[in-house]
Chain A
Amino acid sequence: MIYKRIAFKADPFSYDLVFGDRITLVGGDSGSGKTVLYEILEDLRLTDEYRAIKLFNYKSDNLFDSIIQCRDSFIVIDNADILMNDEIRKFINFEFSNQYLLFLRNCDGLNVSDKSFKVLKLDHNRITLEEEL
């Protein structure tokens, strides 16, 4: 795993994200803060500690070509339900040097475990990843 935990403050919130699998799918209700997190990661990835973070969303150019070049990276994909095709899913399954945080509901074709399915939980301005029931 590239990161077992990503913890940082983004006032008024503090994020404490713990990962239990190489692939993490974040689902849950709309409006639960996935894109807010993605936008904070855009800043966080510019720090030395988190420079392995690579971000992709619907604004990314040449998505497939860019993703398949990633090695030893923590890949985050927002809008993944509309962006990820079968080829990207295959790449994720077989490129073990990367870790993946996917804002995705459709897990078809992905080698995931029980620990992969998460939702964002906000409690007293503390944001964590909890198991999706």
Chain B
Amino acid sequence: MIDIYTEKVESKDWILQNDLYFNLNTSNEEMSENEIHLIQQVDEAKLTPDKHIETKYGLGTIRNLSSGCKTLLNIVKHPEKVVCVEECGPNVLKVIFTMDNIKIYMSRPTLADIPANAKIRFNDTDIVTGSKGYHAWWGKEYERREANDI
């Protein structure tokens, strides 16, 4: 199940500033083979054991990964937290929607690919399945926002 929250909450259990959280926390954690693969997949970056990276833009450290890649790693490393995905490009969102047991915040819908069997729960209440259910939920949400002049 992917939990999506659509109203922003300031809480220690939420990660809203992904660059900052990653640079100070997640980047200091050990990266698994799967996470090294995700870094390669999203940023086309090679991560060395001493946390340097090599990308098409040159050499750097793990803190030079893209904001989207940092967001993805924050989600993977901290599945108990609600992570803001508003800075993620379609290449990252596509990966996120293949994951399970994660919590994300988005205030508007994305056009990213969503698998037909993805189970999604909005705001701890409405459960939908796949791209069709996802977009149907957002359709109703926009009607609600319009009715409430939001």
Q: Is the CB of A27 within 8 A of B89?
A: yes
Q: Chain A residues near B42 (CB, 8 Å)?
A: 30-31
| 1/0 contact string of B72-103 vs chain A (CB within 8 Å) | 00000000000010111111100000000000
Chain A contact-residue range equals 10 to 19
Does residue B16 face the partner (Cβ distance < 8 Å to A)?
A: yes
User: Which of A32-40, A41-49, A67-75 faces chain B?
Assistant: A32-40
Evaluate whether A29 and B89 lie within 8 angstroms (CB atoms) in the complex, with A36-B57, A79-B67, A122-B56 already known: yes
Q: Chain A residues near B65 (CB, 8 Å)?
A: 31
Name the residue of chain A whose CB is nearest to the CB of B16: A82
Q: Is the CB of B87 within 8 A of A31?
A: no
| 1/0 contact string of A16-36 vs chain B (CB within 8 Å) | 000000000001111111111
Q: Chain B residues near A106 (CB, 8 Å)?
A: 86, 107-108
Q: Is the CB of B66 within 8 A of A79?
A: no
Does residue A87 face the partner (Cβ distance < 8 Å to B)?
A: no
Q: Chain B residues near A33 (CB, 8 Å)?
A: 57
**Contact partner, B68, options A13, A31, A36, A58, Cβ 8 Å:** A31
CB of B76, distance to nearest CB on chain A (Å) = 15
Task: Give Cα A28–Cα B89 distance, bound, in whole angstroms.
Answer: 6
Does residue A108 face the partner (Cβ distance < 8 Å to B)?
A: yes
Q: Is the CB of B69 within 8 A of A30?
A: yes
Task: Give Cα A132–Cα B131 distance, bound, in whole angstroms.
Answer: 23
Q: Chain B residues near A51 (CB, 8 Å)?
A: none
Evaluate whether A58 and B20 lie within 8 angstroms (CB atoms) in the complex, with A30-B66, A35-B66, A35-B67 already known: yes
Does residue A5 face the partner (Cβ distance < 8 Å to B)?
A: no
Does residue B28 face the partner (Cβ distance < 8 Å to A)?
A: no
Most buried by A among B20, B42, B68, B87: B87
Task: Give Cα A13–Cα B108 distance, bound, in whole angstroms.
Answer: 35
Q: Is the CB of B57 within 8 A of A30?
A: no
Does residue A105 face the partner (Cβ distance < 8 Å to B)?
A: yes
**Contact partner, B87, options A32, A81, A108, A122, Cβ 8 Å:** A81
Q: Is the CB of A105 within 8 A of B20?
A: no
Q: Chain A residues near B55 (CB, 8 Å)?
A: 31
Name B residues whose Cβ lies closer than 8 Å to a Cβ of A. Answer: 16-17, 19-20, 42-45, 55-57, 65-69, 71, 84, 86-92, 107-108
Sample of 26 A–B contacts (CB below 8 Å): A27-B89, A29-B68, A30-B66, A30-B69, A30-B89, A30-B91, A31-B42, A31-B43, A31-B44, A31-B65, A31-B68, A31-B69, A31-B89, A32-B89, A33-B57, A34-B66, A35-B66, A58-B20, A81-B86, A81-B87, A82-B17, A82-B84, A82-B86, A105-B86, A106-B108, A122-B56
